[in-house]
Homo-oligomer: A and B are copies of this chain.
């Protein structure tokens, strides 16, 4: 921690800051420049994290030196984490595609969709049983019935299942039915839910919040990991900006930034990011090219009649054609798909 002292601070003020730091068990290193005196606090920076040094008289600003996340950082573990989901390796050379409808509607539609996306090369099936909807009057998902349909379709097709958990009270239920537990963007800082899934033995797919910085995204990941569960897939899904021609702004720079900071796999969800089916293909291609470890794409056999997010769902034939393009791009950068 670096503490910059105001130009006109008194010696007593400097002494007071120095004592405060020492009282927390850190050593102090003082450097007097022409314009400013600077205090370096040497030792366990976390001891200072919740001490508001910046309000002490004479302090101009405080600058942390170390990153606040640990277990999920590359400094902690340098080799990439590869997560095994029923035999599918996530985070390795192979780019993995998760596909399926926004929400589970009927057993038949789900099975039909699963068979089609599997044929095109998707390795994991997505489907929402509990849906976070902006309006209380919108379709809220089938609940446990939806989870049962997902389990049924898994038995029929062999595709492992990912579905979103919204409530800590449903955690056990999800552990029974799904292979990967998704935490949605709106719950990225639902810390009780993060703590809960940090204690289960299932991989977690954590979506970036709409207004979450990359640092906050990693801190939420740390919440899960600090409980013991380090099988976490990060998923960029668009951030909120002033631009309204897309639902959100897909931040593809986040992929290489995250890959440099953490050993965990990074996915991209172009469907929720753009909110428009015709933008899903170009941004999926870009996501593979930028280095994402996988994609999460909404596919629906009949988008016009979808109960949720029809406007951003690909039809199976479009998805099939996209998968061919993605394979070519993966090959161009030395990966498979």
Contact = CB atoms under 8 A, between A and B. Distances in A.
Contact of A168 (B168, B286, B303): B168
Interface in A123-145: 132-139
Contact of A282 (B75, B187, B255): B255
A211 B274 contact: no
A304 interface: yes
B252 A283 contact: yes
B38 A34 contact: no
Q: How many copies does the complex hold?
A: 4
Given A135-B68, A285-B289, A214 B311 contact: no
A156 to B, nearest CB: 28
Interface in A6-47: 7, 20, 29, 31, 33-36, 38, 40, 42-46
Contacts of A251: 241, 243, 249-250
A94 interface: no
Contacts of A226: 136-137
Contacts of A267: none
Interface residues of A, number: 106
A298 to B, nearest CB: 12
A290 to B, nearest CB: 4
A4 B307 contact: no
A273 interface: yes
A277 B213 CA distance: 21
A291 B283 CA distance: 9
A111 interface: no
B242 A213 contact: yes
Contact of A213 (B244, B260, B306): B244
A331 interface: yes
Interface stretch (A48-56, A79-87, A146-154, A173-181): A48-56
Contacts of A7: 75
A138 B333 CA distance: 39
A310 interface: yes
5 contacts: A133-B191, A213-B242, A213-B244, A240-B240, A332-B332
Given A2-B2, A282-B289, A289-B289, 17 more contacts: A2-B38, A7-B75, A20-B304, A34-B44, A133-B191, A134-B216, A136-B227, A186-B189, A211-B240, A240-B240, A241-B241, A245-B254, A249-B251, A249-B253, A282-B290, A286-B290, A329-B332
Interface of A: 2, 4, 7, 20, 29, 31, 33-36, 38, 40, 42-46, 49-52, 54-56, 63, 65-66, 68, 75, 132-139, 166-169, 186-187, 189-192, 195, 209-211, 213-216, 219, 222-223, 226-227, 239-246, 249-257, 260, 273-274, 277-279, 282-283, 285-291, 303-304, 306-311, 325, 328-329, 331-333
